A = this chain, B = another copy of it.
Amino acid sequence: MINFQTSPDQYKHWELSFDGAVARLAMDVQEDETLADGYKLKLNSYDLGVDIELADAIQRIRFEHPEVRAVVITSLKPRIFCAGANIYMLGTSSHAFKVNFCKFTNETRCGIEDDSRASGRRYIAALNGTASGGGYELAIACDEIYLVDDGNSAVSLPEVPLLGVLPGTGGLTRLVDKRKVRRDRADVFSTLAEGLKGKRAKEWGLIDDTFPTSKFQEAMDERLAQIGNVRSDNGTQDNILRNNGGIQLNPLKIESSEDTRNSKYVSLKFHRDKRYVDLSVRGPESDLSISADEIQKLGDDYWPLRAYRELDDALLYLRVNEPEIGLVCIRTEGSIENVLSVDKTLAANRDHWLVREIVLHMARVLRRLDLTAKSFFSIIEPGSCFAGNLFELVLASDRSYMLNNPDETVEIALSDLNTGAFPMSNGLTRLQSRFLAEPKKAYEAFARERPFNAEEAEAAGLVTFAPDDLDWDDEIRLAIEERTSLSPDALTGMEASLRFAGPETMDTKIYGRLTAWQNWIFQRPNAVGEHGALTNYGKPTQARFDYKRT
């Protein structure tokens, strides 16, 4: 079982340190501390375990160290920044694991960009040595890239020439879409195993600057000081609050049995013989109309932070540890009013650093759900609390079923947060995405300021089906049976197409176009067959290709 929880005192591969407004994340991968057997993490290459620590570190910087204005990512190994994803790990992993591994590392890198864009922290890649493959892909997720000029160090994307696969952790997309490298130069760079050194790399826009070894540290310090000074001395309310210190992210408490996995607000109940799981989210226990100061005091006990951290962990757990589960039935329990009291508080305090981080975190967890290769059905029954932020779960689901029983209260409700707090990867809200054909309907639904019962919800287009009491059990049972009988691969491709209507962004290009191509290549004999390049890397044998172009 792969565990996604960690904390700095448990890190094996990263050193996280703080100096005023600057955080330093230094990579020092321990080659024997691998997540699985059969490979060594040489030259700061990484496996999922290394990336789980990186994701944790970035999360902690955001919540525990809001005073940080610049994050420098560098390496403690001489002459090497990072050699990318470990090739032997990839070569020995199942197709499904490779796909999940790449998805998580992509989300970590998009998380860096989310922090930069939404919270204004500046990420600096200080490449004190060669950054190849995933190493350069990590750098290119940062705002600025500086490479030491030591006559040897280079940036490179050697996947195509050496491994017969893609730089699929956003590399190709960010090359032309983020750094806007000319496409013919991107073509040359992406087929050049040895990559490019300082001067040429700068000329082609692959890095921002290069400095000789003797001046590299000084140049980095100068740049970091600039950022720290500019941002933290302007004395705004936000800065004062940020500098009062962050909150602690404590370990989640999770209890598991054979068929359940429970934390405080999120529980999983497995029906493994039927290949589905019930995922239940409990709403807040009471009205949470509180002040920002009280939120800060509650810290990670505050419902929206705790519940969404637990939801995030449950999604990751399901992805990598429960591959045979094809369908997640989302349920909620609690009071709609209590959920709405949270949303009201979050909306009223959205300029407070902690509230902003909490809302951004909720948004990232919801995007993680959008990108999870399992079907999601929302089941709306008496006692549920699909309101405001939790109604996003309905909007994120592939379908929703709401019980229509006049004898019981079954309701859903919207809040201010449904109108922009939780953008999808494509930049739209889930309401916008739902009502692409009739944008007016999104406004109408929002304008109504009280809950919807089943018939109203169906008429407003907010749920898929509203069966009555007599049909309910059969309809849900049949829907589950039918869904879990379909080809899991066809469903993955179908959902990836239907969930992201409308515009595309760099993020959706990475998860849609680039990832889909990489997944295709990850199955091809030319990569993973007996004579494939990935299989034969580092062996005395050579790759042999079937040269038919497809």
A residues with CB within 8 A of B: 95-96, 99-100, 159-161, 163-166, 172-173, 175-177, 179-188, 190-191, 205, 275, 323-326, 373-374, 397-400, 433-437, 461, 464, 482-484, 486-504, 508-509, 512-514, 516-521, 523-524, 526-527, 533, 543, 545-550
Contact = CB atoms under 8 A, between A and B. Distances in A.
Given A493-B166, A545-B488, A437 B180 contact: yes
Given A96-B548, A487-B527, A527-B489, A501 B180 contact: yes
Contacts of A495: 187
Contacts of A491: 160, 549
19 contacts: A160-B490, A164-B489, A164-B490, A165-B487, A172-B494, A176-B498, A179-B437, A180-B436, A181-B437, A183-B434, A184-B464, A191-B486, A191-B494, A488-B550, A490-B527, A493-B514, A513-B516, A516-B516, A520-B520
A481 B147 CA distance: 31
B399 A549 contact: no
Contacts of A434: 182-184
B524 A437 contact: no
Among A176, A190, A400, max chain B CB count under 10 A is at A176
Given A182-B437, A399-B184, A526-B487, A520 B545 contact: no
Contacts of A548: 96, 323-324, 488
A524 B373 CA distance: 16
Given A182-B434, A488-B550, A520-B520, 9 more contacts: A175-B498, A183-B433, A184-B400, A187-B495, A191-B486, A373-B549, A484-B547, A490-B533, A519-B550
Contact of A517 (B166, B374, B497, B545): B497
B184 A398 contact: yes
B166 A520 contact: no
Among A205, A325, A487, A523, max chain B CB count under 10 A is at A487
Contact of A489 (B501, B503, B526): B526
Contacts of A492: 517, 549-550
Contact of A519 (B374, B520, B545): B520
Nearest to A436: B180
Nearest to A372: B549
Contacts of A436: 176-177, 180
A489 B161 contact: no
Nearest to A509: B504
Nearest to A95: B550
A514 B496 CA distance: 8
A489 B520 contact: yes
A400 to B, nearest CB: 7
Contacts of A191: 482-483, 486, 494
Given A183-B501, A549-B374, A520 B516 contact: yes
Contacts of A99: 550
A276 B217 CA distance: 48
A165 to B, nearest CB: 6
A94 to B, nearest CB: 8
A95 B526 CA distance: 14
Contact of A494 (B166, B547, B549): B166
A430 to B, nearest CB: 9
A518 B513 CA distance: 11
B513 A497 contact: yes
